[in-house]
């Protein structure tokens, strides 16, 4: 499972004070709202996959892609 991104490059760039102020707000686009939505989608995707006996590796790859596409650079 590869997301196409380097996982090690996320460090300081996404966690600086400026980035944190930009993404950590109370709006529907803020970090808390996005985190809740991503967790809900992740849980629901795996629940539906287990219920329908779908391959979990396919769901995992889709969810990983969704998380990496949503997280800030």
Residue 8 has pLDDT above 60, yes or no: no
Looking at every residue in the chain, the average pLDDT score rounds to 79
Residue 24 has pLDDT above 50, yes or no: yes
Domain boundaries in the chain?
14-70
DSSP the chain: ---SS-GGG-HHHHHSHHHHHHH-SSSTTSHHHHHHHHHHHHHHHHHHHHHTT--HHHHHHHHHHHHHHHS--
pLDDT tens-digit readout, 25-43: 788 888 888 889 999 999 9
Q: What is the mean pLDDT of residues 15-24?
A: 61
Give the model's pLDDT for residue 50: 97
Residue 10 has pLDDT above 50, yes or no: no
């Amino acid at each position: 499972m590869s997301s196409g991104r380097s996982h090690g490059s996320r460090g300081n760039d996404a966690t600086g004070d400026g980035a944190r102020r930009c993404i950590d707000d109370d709006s529907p686009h803020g970090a808390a709202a996005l985190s809740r939505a991503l967790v809900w989608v992740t849980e629901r995707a795996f629940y539906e996959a287990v219920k329908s006996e779908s391959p979990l590796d396919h769901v995992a790859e889709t969810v990983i892609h969704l998380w990496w596409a949503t997280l800030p650079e």
